[in-house]
Amino acid sequence: MQTQLADFIRDTPEGREADDILRKCVHCGFCTATCPSYQVLGDDLDSPRGRIYLIKRALEGAPVSEKTRLHLDRCLTCRACESTCPSGVRYGRLVDIGRALVEKRTRRPPWDRLRRAALSFGLPRTALFTAALRVGQLLGLAPRTSPAGAWPAARHARKMAVLRGCVQPALAPSINAAAARVLDRIGISLLEVPGASCCGALRFHLNQQEAGRDDMRALIDAWWPGVAGGEIEAIVATASGCGVTIKDYAHLLALDPGYRAKAERIAELARDLCEVIRPEDLPEGRGRGRIVFQSPCSLQHGQQIRGNVEALLERVGYELATVRDAHLCCGSAGTYSLLQPAIAGELRARKLAALQEDAPQAIATANIGCLAHLQAGTAAPVRHWIELLDEALA
């Protein structure tokens, strides 16, 4: 695609990156077939191709409006389009650049600014979110939290740090504890480092990109002593949505001379939990029943990891049902389910119908956001896969 970026952005790092990406797009439209927002809304401007066109026009200096922002807001940033695109268009990078520009050039209505400010303030603060959740639970408005169970003492020479996350410690403390127990069995001690909470994705994707980078810098500061001292072999994310962000730190902090080198090191060490356990590390099991795995977009498209979790679950004896349209987003997408509830609800209904076609006894997933979103739409248990693995090994 030919481009003529406007003077205000052409010679900036964002302008050069956007130009490279735009020039790769041949407007073939293959990506529309796998775009969840296009499937629900049927408008080309709610497809990757349409959004690429809107971003191109904005970068070329055309006026942007609330309508431009609406179509970018409706994108789930699921990156299914990247997995489909035959030309290697890095849509996720482009939409970050486009959103930052459109956010600067338009003004959201007061109620939209207010709810975004509330989400941006409340969700990354674990203590505040935990207090709000407990009130919700007392009033019967939120599901109860399962106990975490024991966390093994750090007894192995091999050590890995795990991200605590922002909402996960309140919603499901059992996930990291289960990860610690499984890794302990295979000779790895998992450590939660104080202060290592939000990865920054939340505020970054609410279009408060600098605030998101502040969260990233704070997280790097929390991990750095252990990383610099060489005692931490890897940084493990049990939420694939956080893992995909941490793996991208080198890019996200590339223009920050104070953090660039540290960000590169942290990104090198980052692993999804399913990358640090191999099937052969686990005892073979059988007869644990039929389940289904919902692979989050941040795992299959963002991190391009496919089949790892399924292999681990099968190793310990679960039977995995196949999933129709497994590439499609469930509608969770960070705060998307709160900001675009109608589209998110439709995508969840479609996803749950696909997941439950073979009547599995449980739905497994790899991201706390997907877990909470799916669980709110079904009475069937939705669990993190590591909890099922932990139960099988116990």
Binding site for ligand SF4 (CB under 6 A): 25-31, 35-37, 48-49, 51-52, 75-81, 84-85, 87, 89, 91
Q: What's the rounded Cα separation, in Å, for the pair 265 and 252?
A: 13
Q: In the complex, what is the shortest distance from the CB of residue 280 to ligand SF4, in angstroms, rounded to a whole number?
A: 35
What minimum distance in Å lies between the beta carbon of 1 and ligand SF4? Answer: 8
Q: How far is the CB of 38 from ligand SF4 (least distance, A)?
A: 6
- Residue number, 37 or 197, with CB nearest to ligand SF4: 37
On whether the CB atoms of residues 372 and 300 are closer than 8 A, the answer is no
Tokens linked to 57: 């026009």
Q: Which residue bears the tokens 């498209």?
A: 301
Cβ-based nearer residue to ligand SF4, 25 or 239: 25
Structure tokens at 55: 């971003």
Q: Residue 86 Cβ, how far from ligand SF4 at the closest point, in Å?
A: 6
Q: In what order do the strands lie in the sheet with 158-162?
A: 188-192, 158-162, 234-237, 270-272
Closest to ligand SF4 by CB, 79 vs 262, is 79
Sign of CA dihedral 5, 8, 9, 12: positive
**Phi, psi (rounded to 5 degrees) for 292:** -135, 145
**Under DSSP, is residue 105 helix (H, G, I), strand (E, B) or coil?**
helix
**CA–CA dist 251, 125 (Å, integer):** 25
Minimum Å gap between C-beta 208 and ligand SF4 is: 19
Q: Cβ closer to ligand SF4: 53 or 259?
A: 53
Least distance CB 332 / ligand SF4 (angstroms): 12
Pairwise CA distance, residues 35 & 66, whole Å: 22
- 123 residue type, one letter: L
CB of 18 to ligand SF4, least distance (A): 13
Sign of the torsion angle spanned by Cα atoms 44, 48, 49, 54: positive
* For ligand SF4, the closer CB: 51 or 315: 51
Q: Which is closer to ligand SF4, CB of 48 or CB of 124?
A: 48
Please name the residues in contact with 253: beta carbons below 8 A apart, sequence gap of 6 or more.
Answer: 213, 216, 217, 259, 260, 263
In the complex, what is the shortest distance from the CB of residue 239 to ligand SF4, in angstroms, rounded to a whole number? 19
Nearest residue (CB) to ligand SF4, 81 versus 171:
81
Q: Please give the single-letter amino acid code of residue 261.
A: A
Choice between 94 and 123, CB closer to ligand SF4: 94
> What is the separation, in whole angstroms, between the first and last Cα of the chain?
56
234: exposed, middle or buried (C-beta count within 10 Å: 0-12, 13-18, 19+)?
middle
Minimal CA–CA distance to 223: which of 257, 197, 188?
197
Closest to ligand SF4 by CB, 1 vs 362, is: 1
CB of 340 to ligand SF4, least distance (A): 11
Q: 234 — phi, psi (to 5°)? A: -155, 160
